[in-house]
Amino acid sequence: MAIYPKAFPLSMADLANHILVQVPLQGKRFMDETLSEGRAWTLAVKVVLDRLGKEHDFRSIYTDSSNGTREFMLDLVWWSHWGAMLACECEWGYAGSHKARVSAVAEDFDKLLSFKAPVKLMIFSSDAVTAHRLNCVGELDRYLSEYPCHIEGEEYLLIDFGKQSQAWSASIKKDGLDDSLRFRPLR
């Protein structure tokens, strides 16, 4: 039995495609304005998701000094009158060792697991080394499969803006622990 009163207005593939196309365009504009790479990409994600959320009558909550809003626990949340519709975390992991970068992505993903929303979006950037991408997704698979409080109907979406962007999704088919859960590539 689904607990969310409103269906999510986009498929995971459509949401991923929109983000994979629009965020790099917006991010380049922000980098041209002399923002650092990590700041430019995070701001691009927020702007792209804010615009898309407005198209579907959601209010985006994220830190934005121009309108005096501050994020709550996550980088961005789409909010409606009844609660959260989408929860998003970004972790670019530019600094540190390979292991530290994977750990930083996993720590942010851990917040998404506990947050109640029908769609949970994790955006990260693996480096040029394929092993980093595989280790990130593998670690997120582990977190997903070991989490004991899943809610049927939730969707998870991972987007990696590494050297070759890629997206994965996972659908929760039953409440509670499901040690068979794994992310599947979208394209």
CA atoms within 13 Å, Cβ hemisphere of 128: 0
Q: Give the DSSP H/E element, type plus range, for residue 75.
A: none
Give me the pLDDT at residue 22, please.
98
Rounded distance between C-alpha atoms, residue 63 and residue 93, angstroms = 20
Rounded distance between C-alpha atoms, residue 179 and residue 144, angstroms = 8
Percent of the chain with pLDDT over 90: 68
pTM above 0.75, yes or no: yes
**What's the whole-number mean pLDDT along residues 71-100?**
87
Tokens of 150: 């899943």
Domain ranges of the chain: 12-185
